[in-house]
Structures are given as structure tokens and as C-alpha cells.
Amino acid sequence: MSDYVLVLYYSRYGATAEMAQRIARGIEEVAGIEARVRTVPEVSAVCEAVEDTIPEQGAPYATLDDLRDCAGLALGSPTRFGNMAAPLKHFIDTTSSLWLSGALIDKPAAVFTSTASLHGGQETTLISMMLPLLHHGMILMGVPYSETDLLTTKEGGTPYGPSHLAGEDSKLPVTDTEAKLCRALGKRLAEKAVALNIR
Ligand SMILES: Cc1cc2nc3c(=O)[nH]c(=O)nc-3n(C[C@H](O)[C@H](O)[C@H](O)COP(=O)(O)O)c2cc1C
């Protein structure tokens, strides 16, 4: 029986990592379930390069067991050319054993992203992250328009999942609106995991 929602992300400059923390706070608002925040290592074109098993700072690296045993999943990546970043895709490509055993079937999942520019591909990235989760049989959740900030935001925030506009140099802070939508998604995901009795 699992008692956590996995917040699994990759972040190079910190924006997606900040979003992950905001989503985790929303998860922790729900009784009886907690957030487990994990990241993935960089990938390198130099095949001999091997990362330390524990990162120097920030969240620990995810294992397949973290994913297999979760009650739900929030998956986050910076946008790279309108798609998810390679390190996250690399990790997903190691999950065949979970696909074969059906370990993630019927578990709730959601996605989040950060971009440099407002029209730089938030929605395409979010949808690209949904595709492998559908193959795994997960139940995808977005952000409903009952979160009325979706109607007015001039920053991040989409019905496909929370997003952040980081700006050209990727230094803009996560705004109150973006943070609110992250938190709302985390809470909703955790509530659904509890309601589905996946814990
Ligand atoms: C290789 C590469 C490709 C990128 N492609 C896009 C893009 O298609 N659209 C966009 O708006 N930003 C793009 N960016 C910018 C990042 O998405 C943006 O800086 C993001 O906020 C970084 O998130 P992080 O702080 O979690 O690493 C790209 C950055 C890199 C390094």
C-alpha cells in the first residue's frame, strides 16, 4: 500500500524544481498522503560519464521503485524545443518493466512545465509528457476552470497542467497565480489518489 504522490521532475535552472515544491505543498494539504519529490540525472553524449548516485543538492534521484509504488504522479519538465527535456524522457524510457507489469494502470497523473517564452510550447510539452503516461494506463488530470485564474492569467497556467513563464534568462520567479495553480493541482491529484483508494 503506497502513501505518497510522486513529484518527478527534471530542472536545469531551477524553475521546474520550484514548481515541483509548490505542487508538493498542495499534495501535503491532503490528509493521509504525502509528497515524495524526486529528480533525474543529466544525460550526457559522453557514454563514459557516470553521475553520482546522489545529487550534490536538491531532491534525490528517482528509482523505478519510487514510480512503481506511488499512489499518483506529477511529472514536470522544462520545455525544450516544444517537448520534454531529454533527461526526463531518458528516465521514462527505462520504465518498460512497469509497463509490462501494468504497475501504473489506473493511477492518477498530471504534468507541469516551464518555458522561457509565453508561446514557446507549454501546451505541446504538457501533452508530450501525457503520451507515455497514457501508454502506462494512468488517469490523466489537468486543472479545471473552476480555478478561475485560468481565465485571466497573463503568466503561466493552462488547463493541461500548471506552467511557468520563466523569461528569456529563465530568472522570473514563480508568480502567485502560477504557484496557486501548482498547489491546486497537487491537492487535486492527492485527493483523487485517496478517493481511488490507491494508497
Ligand atoms: C535546449 C533548450 C531548449 C529550449 N526550448 C525552449 C522552447 O522550445 N520554448 C521555450 O519557451 N523555452 C525553451 N527553452 C527555455 C527553457 O524551457 C526555460 O528556460 C525553462 O524555464 C527552464 O526550466 P528550468 O529552470 O527548470 O531548467 C529551452 C532551453 C534549452 C536549454
- For ligand 1, is residue 79 a contact (CB within 6 Å)? yes
Q: Which residue has the cell 524545443?
A: 81
**Helices assigned H by DSSP within 52-199:** 64-68, 86-92, 96-101, 122-135, 149-152, 176-195
Q: What is the pLDDT along the chain (199 residues), one digit of tens a residue?
A: 579 999 999 999 999 999 999 999 999 999 999 999 999 999 987 776 666 678 888 899 999 999 999 999 999 999 999 999 999 999 999 999 999 999 999 999 999 999 999 999 999 999 999 999 999 999 999 999 999 999 999 999 999 999 999 999 989 999 999 999 999 999 999 999 999 987 6
Q: Name which residue sits closest to atom 8 of ligand 1, judged by CA.
A: 81
Q: How far is 91 from 133, CA to CA, in rounded Å?
A: 13
pLDDT score of 81: 98
Q: How far is 32 from 169, CA to CA, in rounded Å?
A: 39
C-alpha cell at 9: 521532475
Q: Name which residue sits closest to atom 30 of ligand 1, judged by CA.
A: 80
Closest ligand 1 atom number to CA of residue 114 = 21
Residue 32 falls in which region: left (phi positive, over 0), alpha (psi -120 to 50) or beta:
left
Q: How far is 145 from 123, CA to CA, in rounded Å?
A: 16
pLDDT score of 2: 75
